[in-house]
Homo-oligomer: A and B are copies of this chain.
Amino acid sequence: MHSVNAGDDDRTARARIRDAAIACFAARGVDGTSLKAIAEEAEVSQGLILHHFGTKKGLRTACDEYAVATIQESKTSVMGAGPQVDPLAAMRADSDGPPVMEYLARTLADGSPEVAALVDGIVEAADAALAEGVKSGMLKPIDQPREVAIVLTLWSLGLLALHRHAERLLGVDIIGPPEERARYVRIAMEALGRGLFTDEAYQHARDALAAPDEERRS
């Protein structure tokens, strides 16, 4: 009865609580989720949650750490295959585990230090991937490579945060499996790959933007 396992679930109670919390937080937000709801979802008592995590904030932190670790893991495994243009492509949550991507989408905006560090790491990876792409001749030389890496990363993650809008407008669940995201990648490729401006319009815009006060180059 009071065993470590409950039902046919072989996860430890601690893991079950964490996963339940991630699911609840992803679905209704951290503030919108009570410990009671998590306890019911994990089929444990509410007291056990606090026994394991101390406070709700502690649970939140544990969720952040787990999500970050999960994503880092899949990121490095995907990274081995070669440089990736789309930072999002490097992030793929296991379909069987807790909904890490949804959780991240929810918590990206209300900045915890753990998530901030994750974002920083993704930027670094994107920066490296861009440099690699330039070196291999796949990408054009970039004037502000780091800044471009940052913006590309935040565009991707921002789209993740707004994935419900993307689903409504585009009919694409960018959190879903790779084949579901293929349409998005094609659209992104059209915008980012060849560029939108005509050559002369780009030169003109560039000159107009370059004019201001100070110049920041690497």
Contacts and interface: CB of A to CB of B under 8 A. Distances in A.
Interface string A25-53: 00001011000000000000000000000
Interface string A156-169: 01111110111011
A4 interface: no
A109 to B, nearest CB: 5
Interface of A is mostly: helix
Interface string A181-197: 01111111111111111
Contacts of A202: 189, 193-194
Contact of A109 (B161, B185, B198): B161
Closest 6 CB pairs of A and B: A158-B158, A195-B195, A31-B31, A155-B155, A138-B201, A193-B197
A183 B142 CA distance: 15
A interface, how many residues as a size bin?
35 or more
Number of copies of this kind of chain in the complex = 2
Interface stretch (A62-70, A93-101, A144-152): A144-152
A209 interface: yes
A176 interface: no
Given A152-B191, A159-B158, A188-B151, A111 B198 contact: no
A31 to B, nearest CB: 3
9 contacts: A108-B161, A109-B161, A139-B201, A140-B195, A140-B197, A148-B191, A150-B170, A158-B159, A189-B209
A196 B192 contact: yes
A143 interface: yes
Contacts of A148: 187, 190-191, 196
A160 B157 CA distance: 11
A218 interface: yes
A154 B159 contact: yes
A36 to B, nearest CB: 16
